[in-house]
Chains A and B, each alone.
Chain A
């Protein structure tokens, strides 16, 4: 396989130079003087070779003017390569050398969406074998895993190939470096759906949660898989998913993710398992209460473990449960405790929430005692 390419920019040197420039600018009487463009810096031998290869085109420089207020001080190699590229896109040449040129442009700036687009045009015009292209994209992605253009290019190539057989392995590679990489998850979802790769995904998610049960991206992926396979409309599935979330919630009761998952299920239009959720939440809360202390022991439970005895995600779930079951006093009491003791950073929110619950209940009792749908509708989003 390809050697993993080194980053095209020497980051440590870059930061050192940037720091020196800052220090000089601050010391200078005119800190915003325009820096000299490319003074005394020569292009490399590699660039000279490129210029010889392209001696038959007239390079097109980027416009420079002292009217421009944010002019970039390009490195000479970068500018020379771009000067050639500008000429090539003007001529529209779609040859092997043009394809190779796009790689150099992309190495200079992997976010150049025009270069990536032009590269695709060259690949398709030349009817190039797209499999080596996947390897190139893998290299670039491992170097710059959060670059939108690289991911779009991968998707376009995979789409054209009509082959998703490498995409789970590829995204797993990226997720091994950063288990929450948003692009990787998005691409993985695309591949799963497009190529029907569902088998094994729940096991993959399980393995990620075993490494980090707070990985919210993995939780989101589980919702995605269930939604597109079994579906949440079945009570059996909802119960299974609730039990799954309950187990993880017990392992770390201050972990938002499984509680959010549970609340998502509660918002499903066919949700009918409120007593199951209530039982779980009340039981867990009881389990977390400190053991009764001897007469002479100080009760330091709140000071020692404020979160572990009253974790906000668990209490927030109970607020939602009690609102749903019309145990309004219990719900309001919890909002008060959260505001004053357990989740004080959200004090204003919890007072607002209490007001919302009060208003809903008041509306419900004033208009119709059995107006459960009205109360539920006030807190529900559109169906997942």
Chain B
């Protein structure tokens, strides 16, 4: 699923696609104009490769970087595909995480990226996915993790982001003020708190109990409590429930690096950590692993 860049799809297409739904791409010449990478798929591909112990030797790093360069917008945000999609904080995270995993920052304008993230800061201390948008834990995760990997977390000095995040816990976690809890927010909120170094403020018992009420009779976890057939488990909520439990140091679960969404073990074995001093942020300083 690595995109081959050729005469029709061009330099902006480099990276990975989610699957073969656009048709076979046996050669760069065969790639249509529409065979373009999707930045979140690029992030997922590199993440999965790291977890599986790949050394990235078959990743066309230059093509990926050219693809990243093609999707940054004038306002510093990123769209998903060079052809043209919406642009917002989700793809800022995916682009930054891609650069981090390749330890190569040439594809992005770091200052513009940071400026976009900060412009998306909400009046209540959180972040929206775009400037002026309502503070949302998904956007906060993307913003915090990106700033962490960029080495610009100092730009969110001040307590109000922590204030906002801890207030999301209502038993389980919600993603916005006055909304109901959903298991995946254990990770979006808890993971953001880990990036900020305050995840030990989580009330583990309450969060854990909520997650367990969402455990399905057929295995896995659903977003809210309930029984089949009203409520079904799904892979996304199972994944973020397990990551959430790991974050809260569930016995027998691996410690995780929330900024990337992988275990500490995988992180330390990944290609981007194999250099003196380990993985670096965009400023060249070492990336600090969470406690």
Within 8 A of B (CB), among A188-206: 189
Q: What separation, in Å, do the CA atoms of A86 and B35 have in the docked complex? A: 11
Name the contact of A114 in the complex, choosing from B22, B118, B159 (C-beta under 8 A). B22
- Set of chain A residues within 8 Å of B161, measured between Cβ atoms: 381
Write the chain B residue with the least CB distance to A71: B19
Which residues of A are found within 8 Å of B169, using beta-carbon distances? 345-346
- Cβ of B123 and Cβ of A267 under 8 Å apart? yes
In the complex, are the beta carbons of B159 and A216 less than 8 A apart?
A: no
Residues in B neighbouring A216, C-beta threshold 8 A: 134, 176-179
Complex interface: stretch among A161-169, A178-186, A278-286, A294-302: A178-186
Question: A323's closest neighbor in chain B, by CB?
Answer: B159
Q: Which residues of A contact B81 (CB under 8 A)?
A: 113, 117
Knowing A26-B218, A349-B201, A382-B118, say if A113 contacts B178 (CB, 8 Å).
Answer: no
Residue B55 CB within 8 A of the other chain: no
Residue of A nearest to B130 (CB): A186
* A214-B177 Cα distance, complex, nearest whole Å: 8
The answer on a CB contact under 8 Å between A185 and B134 is: yes
Give the CA-CA distance A368 to B189 in the complex, in Å: 37
CB contacts (< 8 Å) of A113 on chain B: these are 38, 80-81, 85
Contact with A along B60-83 (1 / 0, CB 8 A): 000000000000000000001101
The interface residues of chain B, by DSSP majority, are classed as: loop
Residues of chain B within 8 A of A263, CB atoms compared: 124, 160
Question: Is A264 close to B, CB under 8 A?
Answer: yes
From A116, which residue of chain B is reached at the shortest CB distance?
B85
| Interface hits, B118-148 → A, CB 8 Å | 118, 121-125, 128-130, 132-136
Give bound CA distance, A261 to B166, whole Å. 17
Tell me the bound Cα distance from A141 to B114 in angstroms: 32
Asked, given contacts A113-B81, A186-B133, A379-B159, whether A255 binds B178 with beta carbons under 8 Å apart, the answer is yes
Residue of A nearest to B229 (CB): A15
Interface size range of chain B in the complex: 35 or more
CB of A346 within 8 A of CB of B201, answer yes
Q: Are the C-beta atoms of B133 and A220 separated by less than 8 Å?
A: yes
Residues in B whose Cβ lies below 8 Å from that of A381: 121, 125, 156, 158, 160-161
User: CB-CB < 8 A to A53: which residues of B?
Assistant: none
Indicate if the CB atoms of B125 and A220 lie closer than 8 Å. no
**A346 contact set on B, CB distance < 8 A:** 166-167, 169, 201, 203
**A118 within 8 Å of B (CB atoms):** yes
Residue A148 interfacial (CB < 8 Å): yes
Q: Which of B162-195 contact A (CB under 8 A)?
A: 162-163, 166-167, 169-171, 176-179
In the assembly, what is the distance between CA of A214 and CA of B189, in Å? 21
> Are A260 and B24 in contact, with the CB atoms below 8 A?
no
Complex-state Cα separation, A220 to B131, whole angstroms: 12
Tell whether, in the assembled complex, residue B20 and residue A63 are in contact, meaning their CB atoms are under 8 Å apart: yes
| Bound CA–CA A60/B30 (angstroms) | 13
The answer to whether A224 has its CB under 8 Å from any CB of chain B is: yes
B177 touches A256 (CB 8 A): yes
Q: Check if B84 sits within 8 Å of A117, measured CB to CB.
A: yes
A-B contact pairs, 12 of them (CB 8 A): A89-B22, A89-B23, A114-B21, A180-B179, A182-B129, A186-B133, A220-B133, A260-B177, A345-B170, A380-B158, A381-B158, A384-B123
Having A19-B229, A62-B23, A152-B86, one finds 12 other A-B pairs with CB under 8 Å, namely A22-B218, A117-B85, A189-B132, A217-B134, A256-B167, A256-B177, A257-B178, A267-B160, A345-B169, A377-B158, A378-B158, A381-B125
Chain B residues packing against A (C-beta within 8 Å): 19-24, 32-34, 38, 80-81, 83-86, 118, 121-125, 128-130, 132-136, 155-156, 158-163, 166-167, 169-171, 176-179, 198, 200-203, 206, 218, 228-229, 232
